Structure 1
Amino acid sequence: MELLQMNLAELFRTETPVLELVLRASILYLGILFLLRIVPRRTGGELATIDLLFVVLIAEAATHSFGGYSSITEGFIVILTLMVLNYIINLLSYYSPFIEKLISYPPLLVVRDGKLLRRNMRREFLTEEELMEFLRREGIEDVKDVKAAHVEADGHISFITKKGSS
């Protein structure tokens, strides 16, 4: 019968000070945002860096609220902190080009007038074979038909073809 007894107050009681939880979540959020900003943009896949960070941290906080933290309340405090930080960073990046530059990659040119820009490709660890695969997916047969190709902030490659080409 003891298995069915539970103390709801214990489930929601916090052992860690709220300010400490907020500070830990904030430092973790900003630290991982910085680290993700210095890795190649194709590492994040289809999500923008800030979105990837948000999803990873929310999942981590939710996992801890099931057992790593001493209460559900602590997990919710961390999740709420992450949500507020994500909202503030998105808001600031919308109104401030400087903040936007800090958290988002600018497009990186990898093909100009049908010529591969190997130095830029190296920065993204983009091989010629991978680039050709992306070209084929877009229905472009030859790199010479490409006026410009950019690796976008979310890791996708966008192509602008020359006039009169496919």
Structure 2
Amino acid sequence: MPSWTEVIIRSVLIILGLFFITKLLGKKQLSALSFFEYIAGITVGDIAGTITMDVELNIVNGLISILIWSLFPIVISILSLKSKKFRDIVEGKATTFIQDGKILEKNMKREKYSTDDLLEQLRKKDIFQVSDVEFAVLETCGQLSVLLKKEKQPTKWEDFFGKGPEVKKPLTVIMDGKILKETIYSAGYSIDWLKSKVESKNRQVDEIFLGQIDSDGRLYADYYDDHFGKEGEKNGDSRTTL
């Protein structure tokens, strides 16, 4: 077998294997990696790249190695869900940097966090004065969570009018020109009702790229036929609310 053919086969097998492993790890590991998961991810990637390009290595041994390195984060995640103490050891604890508007220098020093680092993280959240902060904590994933003082927080609806009306999330009922029947039925609508909404604008369902129903029962439709002028301005809107 030519070496380039073997590289292709190895690459396909590794890609499929990594995809399967990624699905096993779940969404949490994709969004916020712990220190151990970060190391395991780098190692798995390095092993995958090596056994893909080096045809002299046994691919079975490489896949076993990848499987072992990938199982560790899964096992640790399961144990972490069952034991708070184990979770604190593996993932660590959140560290408070600002409390009651005061910076806790000892906590910052323990986390190897400088004043410049803290100010940079605050600026990323559009906060330029430490005095505006009531509480700030460094999460285990490395993100800084900040609570502004009450007088510095944005005004909310409830500040003036109390609790507002319940707003339901929009339901996607048309995608890529096809009706999502299950979503329509679960929302209490019918396909005939949807088609009549679309046809009232002299349109067809297969002309709609994306269709959503809001909490008031109105249908928003984005059509395939987007028209833009020379300067990027639309020659007729390709979106409509039915």
1:52 maps to amino acid: Y
Distance 1:73 1:89 in 2: 25
Identity of aligned residues (%): 26
Match of 1:65 among 30, 37, 51: 51
CA contact (8 A) 1:109 1:120 kept: yes
Q: Alpha-carbon deviation of 1:157?
A: 0.9
SS in 1 for 2:88: helix
- Give the match for residue 41 of structure 2: 55
Distance 1:71 1:135, change over 3 A: same
Q: How many residues get paired?
A: 128
**Shift in Å, 1:69:** 7.3
Instruction: Tell me what 1:97 maps to.
Output: 84
Aligned mates of 2:102, 2:67 — CA distance in 1: 48
Q: Which has the higher strand share?
A: 2
Q: Does 1:121 align with 2:108?
A: yes
Structure 1 residue 147: Cα displacement: 1.3
TM-score by length of 1: 0.67
1:57-82: per-residue Cα shift (whole Å, max 9, x none)?
Answer: 21122134243973001100101112
Measured on the aligned residues, the alpha-carbon RMSD in Å equals 2.7
Unaligned runs of 5+ in 1: 13-45
**Are 1:149 and 2:136 an aligned pair?**
yes
The TM-score with structure 2 as length reference comes to 0.47
Larger helix fraction of residues: 1
In structure 2, C-alpha distance between the alignment counterparts of 1:68 and 1:99, rounded to whole Å: 41
Which structure has more relative contact order (CA 8 Å, sep 6+)? It is 1
- Give the AA of the match of 1:151: L
Matched with 2:95 is 108
Matching of residues 16-55 of structure 1 within 5 Å? 47-55=33-41
Rate the CA distance shift 1:160–1:68 in 2: closer, same or farther, 3 A: farther
